[in-house]
C-alpha cells in the first residue's frame, strides 16, 4: 500500500505538463504566501516602522543585529501574553469539545423539538464576534443581567465588577469564547457521530455492550479523525483569539486579559514598532507550524491505521 502511494499518479511526461499548466497559479500563490513572509522576515531584522521615513525596501539601513529577537526573549509582557493565551486555550478548547460532544450525542437521537433546538444552538456561531463581544460586555457590567440573575438566585444584591477584576475578566472572556464556539464543535462532532455505522452499534449492543461501552469502544474510535480535526481547528482559532475579547476588555484591566493577538495589535497600532511585531509574528508562526506538523503526523498515522 505504501508502495502504491509513493508511485507518481502521472507519468513523467504528464507531470511536466501538469507543472507548466499550474505554473501561473503557483506564481500567484508564491506572491500571496511566500512574498509577505519574506518581507516579514526582512523587516523583523530591522528597526523599521512606518514613521521611520523610509520605504520598507530600504529597511536594511535600520539593521539592528537581531535585537528584536533578543528583546523578544526578554519581553516579560510577551511571555505572560503567551501564557495567558495558553491558559485560555487549555480551558476553552476542552470545554468546547466536551460540551460539543455531549450536545452531539444528545442530538444524534430523535427528540421532540429537535429542529428548533438545533437552530437555537447554532445561533451563537452566526453572531458577528464584535457583536458578541459587545453583548458580553453588557452582560458582565456590574449592574448587568449576570449580576441581576445572581442576585435573584442568591437573594443578596450582587455587584461583582466582572470586567474590572483581573481573574474574573479572564473568566468572562473565556465564557464568551465557549458560548460562541461550542456550536462549531457541536456541528463537526455531530457530523462525525452520524457517520458512525449503525450496524456496528447494533452489533455491539447484541454482544452485550452497555451504552457507555458502546460509546468508548465503537463511537469514539470511529470519530477519531474528526475529533482531531475539530480540536485542531479550535486550537488554531483560539490561539488567535482577538475580536470578542478586545471589545469586552481591550486586554484589560491592565494586561489581565492581554493575549498574543491583543499584544501584537497594541504594538502595531499604538507603539508602531513594526520590526518588533514582525519578529513576534514570525516566532508565533514557527511555533504554530511545528504544532501543526505534529498534529498532521498523528492524523496521518490514524488514517493509516483505519485505511
Partner 1 sequence: MSAIHLQNLVKKFGDFTALKTMDLAIADGEFMALLGPSGCGKSTTMNMIAGMEEPTSGKILFGERDMAGVPMGRRGVGFVFQNYAIFTHMSVRQNLAYGPRMRGAPKAEIDRRVGAIAEMLQLAPLLDRKADRLSVNILQRVAIGRSAIMEPAIFLLDEPLSNVDAAFRAVMRTELKQLQRQFRQTMVYVTHDQLEAMTMADRIAVMDHGVLQQVGTPLEVYNDPANVFVARFIGAPGMNLLKGRPAESDRGLVIDLGPLGVTPPLPAEITAAVRGAQGDVLYGFRPEQATLVEGGRGLSLPVTFIERIGARTIVHLGQGESAVKAVFDNDVGLAIGQTAVVAPAQASVRVFDTATGLAMKAG
Task: Enumerate binding residues for partner 1 (CB under 8 A).
Answer: 197, 199-200, 202-210, 213, 217-218, 221-222, 305-307
Q: How far is the CB of 125 from partner 1 (least distance, A)?
A: 30
Q: How far is the CB of 222 from partner 1 (least distance, A)?
A: 6
> Of 53 and 208, which has the nearer Cβ to partner 1?
208
Q: How far is the CB of 216 from partner 1 (least distance, A)?
A: 10
> Of 62 and 220, which has the nearer Cβ to partner 1?
220
> Of 153 and 207, which has the nearer Cβ to partner 1?
207
Q: How far is the CB of 225 from partner 1 (least distance, A)?
A: 11
Q: How far is the CB of 224 from partner 1 (least distance, A)?
A: 8
> Of 151 and 205, which has the nearer Cβ to partner 1?
205
> Of 209 and 291, which has the nearer Cβ to partner 1?
209
- SS3 per residue for the chain: CHHHHHCCCCCHHHHHHHHHHHHHHHHHHHHHHHHHHHHHHHHHCECCCHHHCCCHHHHHHHECCCHHHHHHHHCHHHHHHHHHHHHHHHHHHHHHHHHHHHHHHHHHCCCCCHHHHHHHHHHHHHCCHHHHHHHHHHHCCCCCHHHHHHHHHHCCCCCCCHHHCHHHHHHHHHHHHHHHHHHHHHHHHHHHHHCCCHHHHHHHHHCCCCHHHHHHHHHHHHHHHHHHHHHHHHHHHHHCCCHHHHHHHCCCCCCCCCCHHHHHHHHHHHHCCHHHHHHHHHHHHHHHHHHHHHHHHHHHHHHHHHC
Q: How far is the CB of 193 from partner 1 (least distance, A)?
A: 15
> Of 222 and 266, which has the nearer Cβ to partner 1?
222
Amino acid at each position: 500500500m505504501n508502495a502504491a502511494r509513493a508511485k507518481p499518479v502521472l507519468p513523467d511526461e504528464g507531470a511536466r505538463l501538469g507543472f507548466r499548466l499550474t505554473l501561473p497559479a503557483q506564481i500567484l500563490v508564491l506572491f500571496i504566501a511566500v512574498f509577505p513572509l519574506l518581507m516579514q522576515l526582512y523587516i523583523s531584522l530591522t528597526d523599521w516602522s512606518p514613521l521611520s521615513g523610509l520605504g520598507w525596501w530600504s529597511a536594511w539601513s535600520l539593521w539592528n543585529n537581531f535585537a528584536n529577537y533578543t528583546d523578544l526573549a526578554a519581553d516579560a509582557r510577551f511571555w505572560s501574553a503567551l501564557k495567558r493565551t495558553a491558559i485560555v486555550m487549555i480551558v476553552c478548547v476542552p470545554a468546547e469539545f466536551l460540551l460539543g460532544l455531549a450536545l452531539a450525542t444528545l442530538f444524534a437521537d430523535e427528540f421532540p423539538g429537535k429542529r428548533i433546538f438545533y437552530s437555537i444552538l447554532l445561533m451563537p456561531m452566526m453572531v458577528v464576534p464584535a457583536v458578541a463581544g459587545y453583548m458580553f460586555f453588557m452582560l458582565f457590567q456590574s449592574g448587568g443581567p449576570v449580576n441581576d440573575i445572581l442576585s435573584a438566585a442568591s437573594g443578596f444584591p450582587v455587584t461583582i465588577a466582572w470586567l474590572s477584576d483581573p481573574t474574573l475578566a479572564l473568566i468572562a472572556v473565556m465564557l464568551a469564547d465557549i458560548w460562541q464556539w461550542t456550536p462549531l464543535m457541536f456541528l463537526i462532532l455531530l457530523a462525525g457521530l452520524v457517520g458512525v455505522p449503525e450496524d456496528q452499534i447494533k452489533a455491539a449492543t447484541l454482544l452485550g455492550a452497555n451504552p457507555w461501552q458502546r460509546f468508548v469502544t465503537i463511537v469514539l474510535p470511529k470519530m477519531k479523525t474528526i475529533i482531531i480535526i475539530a480540536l485542531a481547528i479550535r486550537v488554531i482559532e483560539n490561539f488567535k483569539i482577538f475580536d470578542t475579547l478586545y471589545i469586552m476588555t481591550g486586554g484589560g484591566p491592565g494586561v489581565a486579559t492581554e493575549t498574543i493577538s491583543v499584544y501584537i495589535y497594541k504594538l502595531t497600532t499604538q507603539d508602531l514598532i513594526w520590526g518588533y511585531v514582525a519578529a513576534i509574528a514570525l516566532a508565533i508562526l514557527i511555533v504554530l507550524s511545528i504544532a501543526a506538523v505534529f498534529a498532521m503526523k498523528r492524523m496521518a498515522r490514524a488514517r493509516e491505521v483505519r485505511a
